[in-house]
Structure 1
Amino acid sequence: MTVLDHFPATETEVLTTLTFMLAALLHGLSGMGFQMVTTSALAGAIPLETVVAMVAVPALLINLSALITAGPGLSFSGWWAVGRRFGALALGCVLGSVLGVWLLQSVPPGPLYWLMAAAIFLFVWLDRRRVVWQFTPSGGLALVFGLSTGLLGGSVNAMAPPVTIYLLASQADKNEVVLGSNLCYVVGTVVQFILLRDQITALPAPQLETLAQATLLALGALWLGVRWRERLSQRRFRRLMLAVLALLGARALFQGWAAL
């Protein structure tokens, strides 16, 4: 018997589907948040490791769709440029994700939630105080932020804050933010899928059916969010990102307290 067996099937299906759709809509608007929102929403009733395993495949599809939508289409040279621009960030994310999954299976998540919340609130506070937090992108710095992204993503499905902080502080435009962040989400989720494949394949058939249905609806919500994002100015996009970060930071703080 799994944890979800303690809930009525319809309640579980509705909770999962609504969570996936809202998270995908947010992801389409801001380019981030699907894994973090779904994990935060479901982790209150389901063990964190189970939620991470549940979300892995849907998240991979959502992140890959968002990456392709924001990418250069069928242009090989365009994708090569994306790889060169964000390669160090993605490499760091892969290495960090391996460590993050190990932490997920080995230590309580509370301290990691608090670390994530601290980083978010520091960035938002500096921005609101009009403190300019900018730096010139470099391979070493990208690798460090990629490691942080993978560490938090692999352990608590919270890739968004470090990679978003890096991209915004390096003055990336909204399309670069979506491209860079979703590239990290894709490679990090692939690592999760490989390392958590036993937990994923062990999910009961009814749960897999619910996940499949929720994922299809989430892809539609993602498309709608992408269409809305195209109407946002760079200034409004940055404000949206900061608002999302603040909300996710508050949620992370609560999750860290609840994990004690």
Structure 2
Amino acid sequence: MDLNTDFLLIISLIIFISSLVHGSIGFGFPMIATPLLAMITDMKTAILYIAIPTLLINLISIYSEGNFLQAVKKFYPLALMGMIGSAIGTQILIYSSTDFFKLLLAISIFLYLFIQKFKIQMQWIEKKRRLSVVVFGLVAGFIGGLTNVMASILIIYSLESKHTKKEIIQSTNLCFLFGKIIQIILFTMHGSFNEELLSISFFSLFIVMTGMFVGLKVKNKIPQEIYRKVIKVVLFLIASFLVYQTI
């Protein structure tokens, strides 16, 4: 699609809504923005458009929960595993970008919704902490590198590790931050960023800050249960459309 006013408007709206949701519940920016953008472009381009804005989103989310350095110290092993997995997934995405990755993205979203609905239990995670960090970090990073969505895998880990809401937000965003850093480095080395992508990315930073500011303000004013249900319905519809579009 050519770069024009309508396209910029669509991207701006997607990024603003995704940022607002992320600010309100602590995660969700890539999970909402990526599939929406993938509907009007390919998976690799969708990820490239929001790569730089995602860094800002993650930093704001971690910092807004407080004790930034403590969070980094606690969750950096998981984040490092996520970075390794993301590097592998990104390399595959760079050299073999296909519409199949849209289907994989839809499956990742359905997995997240399934986990939330049935509250799956995996008791070995708490018993074998080091192994679980390696397994879930690598798998989440790999899926994140391919689809830009690693929340579904990380939420399983966080729930089974009995993390608080604050810890879930900080660990998820830290993993995505590390994964996004290596992804941007690899995309840059491959020459994937062009002037158009960089222009839109840096322009999006202002929209991200606005959306996050509004989201953080309404965080405690909207009934979270109702809000989460609406988001789940939206995600289900997006994932369903991606399946339809791919098949």
**TM more than 0.5:** yes
Q: Does 1:102 align with 2:83?
A: no
Q: Which moved more, 1:213-222 or 1:179-188?
A: 213-222
CA distance 1:11–1:242, change in 2 (3 Å) = same
Gaps of 5+ in 1: 74-78
8 Å CA contact 2:103, 2:242 repeated in 1: no
Partner of 1:50: 45
Q: Percent identical across equivalent pairs?
A: 25
Query: What value does the CA root-mean-square deviation take over the aligned residues?
Result: 2.7
CA distance in 1, matches of 2:23, 2:111: 23
**Structure 2 CA distance for partners of 1:143 and 1:257, relative to 1, 3 Å:** farther
- Give the superposition deviation at 1:109: 0.9
Paired position in structure 2 for 1:116: 108
TM-score relative to the length of structure 2: 0.84
Secondary structure of the 1:4 match is coil
> Could you say which residue in structure 1 is the equivalent of 2:71?
82
2:205 counterpart of 1:184? no
Shift of 1:49: 0.8
Given the superposition, is the C-alpha separation of residues 113 and 212 from structure 1 closer, same or farther in structure 2, using an over 3 Å criterion?
A: closer
Q: Using a 3 Å threshold, how does the CA distance of structure 1 residues 254 and 88 change in structure 2: closer, same or farther? A: farther
Please list the CA deviations of residues 160-205 of structure 1 after superposition, one character each: whole Å capped at 9, or x if unmatched.
Answer: 211122213322211111111110110011011011114553242x
1:16-38 CA-partner distances (Å, limit 9, x unpaired):
11111110011111111112211
Q: How many residues align?
A: 241
Matched, 1:143 2:130: no
The verdict on how the C-alpha distance between 1:200 and 1:216 changes in structure 2, with shifts beyond 3 A counting, is farther
Contact 1:28/1:224 (8 A) holds in 2? yes
1:89 touches 1:184 (CA, 8 Å); kept in 2? yes
1:222 partnered with 2:182 = no
Using the TM superposition, give the Cα deviation of residue 257 of structure 1 relative to its aligned residue in structure 2, in angstroms.
4.1
Tell me which residue corresponds to 1:194. 185
Matched, 1:64 2:59: yes
Q: Which amino acid aligns with 1:86?
A: F
1:155 paired residue among 140, 146, 157:
146
**Offset at residue 12 of structure 1 (A):** 1.1
